[in-house]
Amino acid sequence: MSIDDVSDEVVREQLRAREPLFHRVELGTSREWFEHETDDEFWEVGASGAVYDREQVWAMLEPRYAEGADDPWSITDFAVRRVDAVVYLATYVLHQGPRVTRRATLWRRTDTGWRILYHQGTEAPSTRM
């Protein structure tokens, strides 16, 4: 099956299985996994508004993964929108105890799998709109 043969519903299911970004430790926690998942030009805007490049994000994730701390979470309002033939925008609300953030991830579909282009988290009120 080529990347062009995948329905939007299959794409939604595939991306839902990968989000929340960097919280699904069952998918991987190694440097190699991170490099495979993220595009070379990957960058992120954190919930604080700070901008992070690929290396800075890994520098934050590596100790968190090494610690292996419990990270309970849930997702609501998950949606996927096609941006172009191989790029999709996944949006959702991430609930981590009292902390609630709105998330957006740009994903590129390739012949070797999904690659993350961009991610943003924005603090949100805990009440649903």
The pLDDT assigned to 68 comes to: 85
Cβ atoms 44, 57 nearer than 8 A: yes
Give the Cα separation of 116 and 106 in Å (integer). Answer: 6
Question: What confidence category does residue 4 fall into, taking pLDDT thresholds of 50, 70 and 90?
Answer: low
70 domain-assigned: yes
The range of the structural domain enclosing residue 94 comes to: 3-123
CA angle 57/36/62 to nearest 5° reads: 35
- pLDDT by residue (tens digit) across 49-85? 999 999 999 999 999 899 987 889 999 999 999 999 9
> For position 53, which CATH number holds?
3.10.450.50
Q: Give domain status of residue 36, yes or no.
A: yes
In a domain, 128, yes or no: no
Q: Phi and psi of 83, rounded to 5°?
A: -95, -45
Number of domains in the chain: 1
Q: What is the pTM (predicted TM-score) of this model? A: 0.88
In a domain, 72, yes or no: yes
Is the pLDDT assigned to residue 27 strictly greater than 60? yes
